Structure 1
Amino acid sequence: MSSQKVAVVTGASQGIGAALVAAYRKLGYAVVANSRTIAPSDDPLVLTVPGDVAEPGVGARIIEAGLREFGRVDTLINNAGVFLAKPFTEYTDADYDLVLGVNLRGFFELSQSTAEAMLEQGGGHIVNITTTLADHALSTVPSALASLTKGGLNAVTKSLATEYASRGIRVNAVAPGVVRTPMHPAETHEFLAALHPVGRLGEIDDIVDAVIYLEGAAFVTGEILHVDGGQLAGH
């Protein structure tokens, strides 16, 4: 088996995902980078695998491609996610299928395939990107589907961390506040910044730094690391 460490990053074409690809390459990892439409990379140690993780079979295919190319998977970052803020009664069946497909099926398939590989190789690290809104709801941001799915990811982070603690697989989560990414139009930034006690939006580097901290934190598992400018603590 190759000694080259390998990270898998979903939602990797922009925002936090693209920054995580760069950060793991800087650490010396090869990276398997996925998003629905992702262009091939000219870096031989970045394998791009296009596909919608909400579709059955895609998660397994991403991990298979990584194993075929690099021979192992050391870290999986479940970063692909959908966020729809709507009053609860306005969510449609299509909204439900979209959010649960990306946020939960994507996590389930990728993590299951990854865990199988990690059990064979003797360990690894899974990181789920969730949201502080799952723990600290806001009347100004109605987001029941985010809470339903990301709250589930927070819970399963602890469940899997416990299940695999004795077998070398760590499972953690990073729960961001609102981060300045292409997902949020510039005209909403002032309102969103005010949701955090520190009075600013999170930056992509804030989240990347948290993931890289967890990567090196060998005694940390089952942790939900809130990177939210104090939002969980109160307002």
Structure 2
Amino acid sequence: MNSQQKVAIVTGASQGIGAAMVKAFRDRNYRVVANSRSIKPSSDPDVITVAGDIADRAVAQRIVTEALSRFGRIDTLVNNAGIFVAKPFTDYTVEDYANVLSVNLTGFFHISQLALAEMEKQGSGHIVNISTSLVDHAIDGVPSVLASLTKGGLNAATKSMAIEYAKRGIRVNAVSPGIIKSPMHAPETHGVLAGLHPVGRMGEMSDITDAVIYLDSAGFVTGEILHVDGGQSAGH
């Protein structure tokens, strides 16, 4: 085992931004532990997949245990798993509320706490939380209260954790995307969604992976909420 080869954990990694993130890390010779409820086994010996709900403490523990037993370290955690439910506020059900908070906040809590404990032992590490620019710039016609409630919490936690761990060699940042071309957006909606961004286009998954990779290499950056949203958070 090359203990100097960096190791990243990516949640929500079976498709979309998460899957692209796994590829981006592998392209840079990181070993990766990838998690989602439905993730399939990997044929790449440097990618471990752990299936399960990240809101389950036992799943988060299994991810960390696998990273340490197989790769010997944890350098980066990308909290990408998330649920977005677009409903008017009064239409949310109790189940919607529980599901969104479970993945967006409880999942973040479990895996971040366990990974941070190992990063502290190393004296180094980096956490990147995937947020949304809807927190800063709500859009008429895109109901997003639960997303703003949970991802806004992640933004606040990002800054708080960055300060708490700054002197322990651990950085914490967030990437705040606009609307990204991914399997969750049908192609026939792309024209309308592109118009929600001042630059006139949706984001590509590479826009987000590039931002995460930048933050991972930016040793003097911590507590940052990096907006990658085509100007959406700046205004219209």
Cα drift, residue 60 of structure 1: 2.1
Paired with 2:211 and 2:184, the residues of 1 have a C-alpha distance of 20
* Residue in 2 that maps onto 1:158: 159
Is 1:201 matched with 2:190?
Answer: no
Please list, as runs of the form range in 1=range in 2, the aligned pairs for 1:1-235 lying within 5 A after superposition.
2-235=3-236
Shift of 1:215: 0.8
Q: Shift in Å at residue 156 of structure 1? A: 0.2
Is the CA contact (8 Å cut-off) linking 1:54 and 1:98 kept in structure 2?
no
Over residues 64-95 of structure 1, what are the superposed CA-to-partner deviations in whole Å (9 max), with x where a residue is unaligned? 22112111100000001100111000000110
TM-score by length of 1: 0.98
Work out the CA distance in 1 between the residues paired with 2:160 and 2:176.
17
Which amino acid in structure 2 is aligned with residue 66 of structure 1? A
Q: Say which SS state the counterpart of residue 98 (structure 2) adopts.
A: helix
CA RMSD of aligned residues (A): 1.0
TM-score under structure 2 length normalisation? 0.97
Could you tell me how far 1:187 is from its partner in structure 2?
Answer: 2.1
Count of aligned pairs between the two proteins:
235
Q: What amino acid does structure 2 have at the position aligned with 1:230?
A: G
Other structure's SS at 1:209 match: helix
Are 1:82 and 1:103, in contact at CA under 8 Å, matched by a contact in 2? yes
- Cα separation, 1, equivalents of 2:61 and 2:95: 24
Q: Equivalents in 1 of 2:65, 2:15: separation in Å?
A: 23
1:39–1:48 contact (8 Å) kept in structure 2: yes
| Amino acid in structure 1 at the alignment position of 2:32 | V
How far apart are the structure 2 equivalents of 1:69 and 1:37? 21
Q: Which ranges of structure 1 fall in alignment gaps of 5 or more residues?
A: none
Moved more, 166-175 or 33-42: 33-42
* 1:112-158 deviation per Cα after TM superposition (whole angstroms, max 9, x unaligned): 00100000011100000000001111121111000000000000000
- C-alpha distance in structure 2 between counterparts of 1:171 and 1:128, whole Å: 8
**Cα distance in 2 for residues equivalent to 1:76 and 1:56:** 16
What stretches of structure 1 move > 4 A for 4+ residues in a row? none
Helix, strand or coil at the partner of 1:232: helix
Aligned-partner SS, 1:180:
coil
Query: Where does the alignment leave 5 or more consecutive residues of structure 2 unmatched?
Result: none
Distance 1:135 1:60 in 2: 33
The sequence identity of aligned pairs, in percent, is 67
